[in-house]
Amino acid sequence: MCGIVGYIGNQDAYPILIKGLKRLEYRGYDSAGVALLKDGVNVYKKRGKVADLERHIANKDVGGTIGIGHTRWATHGEPNDTNAHPHRSMDGKFVLIHNGIIENYGRLKKTLEENGYTFTSETDTEVLANLISYMYDHGATSFENAVQLALKKVIGAYGLVVLSTEEPDVLIAARKGSPLVIGIGKGEYFLASDATPIVEHTNSVIYLSDDDMAIIKKGQLTLKTIFDKTQEPVVQELDLDVGEIDKNGFDHFMLKEIFEQPRSILDTFRGRVAKDNKEIVLGGLYKVIDDLVQARRILIVGCGTSWHAGLVGEYLIEDIARIPVEVEYGSEFRYRNPVIGKEDFVIAISQSGETADTLAAIRMAKEAGATVLGICNVVGSSIPRETHAGVYTHAGPEIGVASTKAFTAQVTVLAMMAMVLGNKKGHLSTERYNELINDLTVIPSKIEKILQQNDKIKEIAKVYKDANNAIYLGRGYLFPVALEGALKLKEISYIHAEGYPAAEMKHGPIALIDENMPVIVIATKDKSYDKIVSNIQEVKARSGKVIAVVTEGDEVIRNMADHVMEVPDSCEMFSVLTTVIPLQLLSYHIALMRNCNVDQPRNLAKSVTVE
């Protein structure tokens, strides 16, 4: 949440910052701003998108080779020009951009007010800018020391970059809980919340850890903690291609990412399906696999779409490996005093690897002695760095705020894990193991076929674009798909939608059904098929409109439903990966027809780094 960029070097900072902010806009897009150091500091900020900021700045002085920029997702204070970052201290000497939440900002603000400080915005960030200024005037030996002293007083999370007119040749960056990456160029440094704005400049990066602080001058970087302990910078190579963060001819990132799924799932398999499809090797788990096989139980934690993938994981692991699994929202788990100990394994699922509640849950599980594994997409993010072992999904950057390819990649990893465990535990015969590997590896070609129905799905979207509500129904493995389909619709089209296990309909939701209620039923041919056919009849008997996701050639449901979206027949366990695709496309087209911003839905942001 919130995107941070910074530059220090010999080039003009402004174009680098603006381009960087556009890359990071998916992290927050209610306001944006930049500050440029040049004979003093010029600060420009504006409510709205980065494009609004650019228009606001046109014809203004954007000179300077040191600068910082921010794109905001509001926490404290409504989105407006004043609350936008960067924030200046009252004396104008310190200018700050910040991602995170200063939890004790109220108390700090009161103390500063008692010392004569006044504030123009409602933000916690302005409090921090003034706290640095206060420390500078009250005993700090330098700009760097003032930042250290201020951060020691802070409770909460931050990724921040600060500059000062007092030492105009330096940028200071610090991190606690919110990500920050430094790109190393030739005599220049690039700072950002993630690597997407950096990759076109350099592949060498340093990921800051909690309590790290970087003091950066042109051509010189010093890394230490806010407690003044020197840190050895670990330089890593980015495995990211600029092409992966462009729309590549698609109208939206979301559509591009939906269409990428045949390839992204292959990337998830890559190097892991070995010996002519006879074995799955998950290198990231090699240290823990023997213990995992013996696990008393597995807890899966995640949020949103990743939590839905976790539910699929529960079905897969219990079904194939016969290990008890519980699935928890990170936010509930962390605050509800769960029973957990060293015999337990926790799997944290997260696209971004930065979700605050998921991170807090894994820290708690580690403290309780559990072994914690990560299933993450963003390489080098916090969750993979804080877990004992894990598997990257390798789906490539997901920029659309609504998660699509990350979900199918997460499910693919969970399927592979379940199969490895099932095989090692002896619940899967070699023959069945090989059959399942084959069934899984043909999924990308099945998805290719489903994507060919895009135009047909668009026609269905036309019929339902004005709906106010929708119900999604599924059973067994397809219940999490119902939840995921409903989430996709509500988050990008703002239509109220709920997912239910189909049999639950009779226990309440059936009262909602009338001729205006679209009911999306995921009804492929599996062991619950006859039961779900009965559920469809129950909906039709109450004049509901049925849009069914069916197995190719299913004439029975075609004759009952108002519309069908077909998917090729596949093994029940992996049908999640096929049936979710038409639902993603349906949501996309409905949202577009309602003139919604598909890639940047209102109130949302990618990577929820605040709780």
Looking at the annotation, which residues are catalytic? 2, 606
By C-beta, is 338 or 601 nearer to ligand F6R?
Answer: 601
- Out of 65, 130, 306, 570, point to the residue binding ligand F6R (CB under 6 A): 306
Stretch that binds ligand F6R, among 24-32, 112-120, 303-311, 465-473 (CB under 6 A): 303-311
The residue written with tokens 């509800």 in the block is 336
- Report the distance separating Cα 135 and Cα 132, nearest Å: 5
CB 551 within 8 A of CB 567: yes
User: What is the pattern of x (binds ligand F6R, CB under 6 A) and - over residues 257-296?
Assistant: ----------------------------------------
- Out of 196, 351, 551, 600, point to the residue binding ligand F6R (CB under 6 A): 351
Q: Using the rule CB under 6 A, is 350 a contact of ligand F6R?
A: yes
- Report the distance separating Cα 465 and Cα 489, nearest Å: 10
Q: Using the rule CB under 6 A, is 303 a contact of ligand F6R?
A: yes
- Report the distance separating Cα 70 and Cα 411, nearest Å: 34
Which pair of tokens denotes residue 207?
């990921």
Residue 408 CB, nearest approach to ligand F6R (Å): 12
Number of residues that bind ligand F6R (CB under 6 A): 15
User: What is the pattern of x (binds ligand F6R, CB under 6 A) and - over residues 378-417?
Assistant: ------------------------xx--------------
State which amino acid sits at residue 170: V
By C-beta, is 144 or 491 nearer to ligand F6R?
Answer: 491
173 φ, ψ (degrees, to nearest 5): -120, 145
By C-beta, is 173 or 604 nearer to ligand F6R?
Answer: 604
- Report the distance separating Cα 154 and Cα 172, nearest Å: 16
Stretch that binds ligand F6R, among 29-37, 58-66, 347-355, 506-514 (CB under 6 A): 347-355
**Largest Cα–Cα distance of the chain, in whole Å?**
80
**Closest CA relative to residue 31, chosen from 130, 129, 106, 97:** 97
By C-beta, is 31 or 352 nearer to ligand F6R?
Answer: 352
By C-beta, is 7 or 588 nearer to ligand F6R?
Answer: 588
**Coil vs helix vs strand at 254:** helix
By C-beta, is 298 or 395 nearer to ligand F6R?
Answer: 395
Q: Using the rule CB under 6 A, is 599 a contact of ligand F6R?
A: no
Stretch that binds ligand F6R, among 314-322, 345-353, 521-529, 539-547 (CB under 6 A): 345-353
Q: Using the rule CB under 6 A, is 89 a contact of ligand F6R?
A: no
Residue 331 CB, nearest approach to ligand F6R (Å): 11
The residue count of the chain comes to: 611
By C-beta, is 196 or 607 nearer to ligand F6R?
Answer: 607
Residue 580 CB, nearest approach to ligand F6R (Å): 12
Q: Using the rule CB under 6 A, is 359 a contact of ligand F6R?
A: no
Stretch that binds ligand F6R, among 34-42, 60-68, 146-154, 300-308 (CB under 6 A): 300-308
By C-beta, is 574 or 588 nearer to ligand F6R?
Answer: 588
Q: Using the rule CB under 6 A, is 587 a contact of ligand F6R?
A: no
- Out of 123, 358, 408, 551, point to the residue binding ligand F6R (CB under 6 A): 358
**Coil vs helix vs strand at 78:** coil
**Closest CA relative to residue 331, chosen from 367, 306, 314:** 306
Residue 403 CB, nearest approach to ligand F6R (Å): 3
The conformation of residue 244, written as its DSSP 8-state character, comes to G
Q: Report residue 371 CA to chain centroid gap.
A: 23
Stretch that binds ligand F6R, among 8-16, 118-126, 181-189, 349-357 (CB under 6 A): 349-357
Residues 6 or more apart in contact with residue 68 via CB below 8 angstroms: 4, 5, 6, 7, 17, 34, 35, 86, 95, 97, 161, 162, 163, 171, 191
- Report the distance separating Cα 152 and Cα 299, nearest Å: 34
- Out of 99, 352, 551, 609, point to the residue binding ligand F6R (CB under 6 A): 352
Residue 355 CB, nearest approach to ligand F6R (Å): 3
With CB atoms as reference, the residue minimizing the distance to ligand F6R is 304
Residue 200 CB, nearest approach to ligand F6R (Å): 23
The conformation of residue 263, written as its DSSP 8-state character, comes to H
CB 93 within 8 A of CB 165: yes
Residue 303 CB, nearest approach to ligand F6R (Å): 4
Q: Using the rule CB under 6 A, is 305 a contact of ligand F6R?
A: yes
Stretch that binds ligand F6R, among 20-28, 85-93, 351-359, 385-393 (CB under 6 A): 351-359
- Helix (H), strand (E) at residue 482: helix 478-493
The residue written with tokens 């051509």 in the block is 219
Residue 160 CB, nearest approach to ligand F6R (Å): 21
Residues 6 or more apart in contact with residue 29 via CB below 8 angstroms: 49, 50, 71, 72, 73, 600, 605
Residue 229 CB, nearest approach to ligand F6R (Å): 30
- Report the distance separating Cα 41 and Cα 31, nearest Å: 20
Residue 304 CB, nearest approach to ligand F6R (Å): 2
- Report the distance separating Cα 19 and Cα 173, nearest Å: 20
Question: What is the end-to-end Cα distance of the chain in Å, rounded?
Answer: 11
Which DSSP string corresponds to 127-188? HHHHHHHHHHHTT-SSHHHHHHHHHHT--B-EEEEEEESSSTT-EEEEEEBS--EEEE-SS-
Residue 402 CB, nearest approach to ligand F6R (Å): 4
**Closest CA relative to residue 598, chosen from 493, 463, 495:** 493
- Report the distance separating Cα 246 and Cα 253, nearest Å: 8
Question: Distances in Å between the alpha carbon of 437 and those of 107, 271, 283, 321, 419?
Answer: 57, 14, 17, 15, 8
- Out of 355, 393, 579, 587, point to the residue binding ligand F6R (CB under 6 A): 355
Indicate the burial class of 471 (C-beta count within 10 angstroms; 0-12, 13-18, 19 or more).
Answer: buried
User: What is the pattern of x (binds ligand F6R, CB under 6 A) and - over residues 474-513?
Assistant: -------------x---x----------------------
Indicate the burial class of 76 (C-beta count within 10 angstroms; 0-12, 13-18, 19 or more).
Answer: middle
By C-beta, is 307 or 479 nearer to ligand F6R?
Answer: 307
* Binding footprint of ligand F6R on the chain (CB under 6 A): 303-306, 350-352, 355, 358, 402-403, 487, 491, 607-608
